[in-house]
Amino acid sequence: MDGNLRRTAGAGPPTGRSGAGRRRLAHPGAAAAGAMAVLLLAGCSSDGAKDDGLPPEPGQRPKSVTPFWVNPDSKAARQMSAYRKDDNAADARLANKIASQPVAEWIGVDDPRGEARGFTEAAAKAGREALLVLYNIPHRDCGSYSQGGAADGNAYRAWLDGVLGGIGDRPTTVILEPDALPHIADKCTPQKFQEERYALLTEAVGKLKSLPHTKVYLDAGNPHWIKDPGRMVEPLKRAGIDRADGFALNISNYQTTAENTKYGKQLSAMVGGKRFVIDTSRNGNGPAPGGDDPENWCNPPGRALGTPPTAKTADPLIADYLWIKRPGESDGTCKGGPKAGAWWPSYALGLARGAK
């Protein structure tokens, strides 16, 4: 899509195909149980950089800045730990720019209940909120890098029920099915699959909102993918935006925060004043120049980390700036990258090096 993302469910979040507006995502690689174990080991280790110039192991961000959990066993944290062991202070500090921030966890397909429970329990023990991405809708990503998803509607419902059981009553924010609605708006998803998709998303919103402490945001693309926000109104309404907490923009993409803010405010006015979140994980330098590259959304060089995750957005309509796409994970096998969702150390360092 010219304004999409791509991700890999079960293996990694989507990525960002579709030219200027797409994205790619990749699922979390760390097992939930491992994340909890490391959390217990790393709980008191964030008092500042050491005299040797090496950064500390990741700790939690102040709740006044962001309520979301920092996973001490993330891919970025593991990479930083490897650099620390090698006394590579320069690269450790760069990796720490990612490892020290709360990044969304993409729930895989094999053990949705166990992963959701592991992440939410670890977050709750740290006094924080889990940020999860559900990316398993049937026929996802229109056959591109993150193609796949549940085999059919019943398989999706069973997977979702596992996620619901894993979340329980723990505070959680869910980004629901990136690309699913924008792919309807841009006609990438065939008509024959659309009614089922709306039904599954409506059910998912309802079930997630029936949990006592769960927020839900539906994906609404980005301003360079679905250029007219009015095209997202019917898809959002048919998917249950009235019950959801709001919508998400720029997932796995590089469009600027300013452009997403303008677009989001226009769309919000059309769907009852709903709030929205913006993925700022890789938009620090904005999008790559278009040129003649039809995949300028896929692993573009010269990009940078954007605004760190925070609830301090200075705008009542913007609920949070979030890192939904996991910085450092590939968009797909383009421009020398590994498969979608795989950790790519050199790309991660480039994003961190370019951050303002």
Share of the chain above pLDDT 70, in %: 85
Assess if residue 62 is contained within a domain: no
Residue 60 inside a domain? The answer is: no
Q: Does the residue 127 lie in any domain?
A: yes
How far lies 350's CA from each of 301, 304, 306, in Å? 8, 7, 13
Model pLDDT, residue 1? 38
Q: What's the number of CA atoms in the CB half-sphere (13 Å) around residue 258?
A: 4
Residue 50 lies in a domain: no
Q: In angstroms, rounded to a whole number, what is the distance separating the alpha carbons of residues 126 and 35?
A: 12
pLDDT digits (tens, 9 = 90+) for 128-148: 999 999 999 999 988 788 888
pLDDT at site 49: 41
**CB-count exposure of residue 10 (10 Å: 0-12, 13-18, 19+):** middle
Q: How many CB atoms lie within 10 A of CB 292?
A: 5
The residues annotated with a catalytic role in the active site are 141, 179, 331
The pLDDT value recorded for residue 51 is 54
Q: Is the pLDDT of residue 30 over 80?
A: no
Is the residue at 61 inside a domain?
A: no
Q: What is the token pair recorded at 234?
A: 């019917």
Short-list 351, 275, 280, CA closest to 319:
275
pTM of the model: 0.88
Whole-Å CA distances, 90 to 55, 280, 283: 9, 24, 23
Q: Which amino acid is at 192?
A: K
Asked if 244 contacts 319 with a C-beta cutoff of 8 angstroms, the reply is no
Q: What is the mean pLDDT of residues 21-49?
A: 40
Give yes or no for residue 17 having a pLDDT over 80. no
Q: Assess whether pLDDT exceeds 60 at residue 75.
A: yes
Which domain does 284 fall in, by range? 4-41+68-354
Does 49 reside within a domain? no
Distances in Å between the alpha carbon of 285 and those of 52, 260, 282, 305, 351?
31, 14, 8, 8, 9
Q: What is the pLDDT of residue 144?
A: 80
- The 10s digit of each residue's pLDDT in 330-341 is 999 999 999 999
Q: Would you say residue 47 lies in a domain?
A: no
- Provide CB contacts within 8 A for 68, sequence distance 6+: 61, 102, 123, 128, 129, 130, 131, 173, 309, 322
SS3 at position 18: coil
Phi and psi (nearest 5°) for 25?
-130, 160
Please report, for the domain that includes residue 93, its CATH number: 3.20.20.40
Number of domains in the chain: 1
Q: What percent of the chain has pLDDT over 90?
A: 79
CB 350 within 8 A of CB 328: no
The predicted pLDDT at position 42 comes to 40
CB 316 within 8 A of CB 265: no
Residue 24 has pLDDT above 50, yes or no: no
Mean pLDDT confidence for 60-84: 97
Average of per-residue pLDDT across 279-283: 98
Q: Which amino acid is at 225?
A: W
Q: How confident is the model at residue 141, as a pLDDT?
A: 84
In a domain, 54, yes or no: no
The residue among 356, 344, 266 whose CA lies nearest residue 305 is 356
Q: Does the pLDDT value for residue 25 go beyond 80? A: no
Whether the Cβ atoms of residue 67 and residue 213 lie closer than 8 Å to each other: no
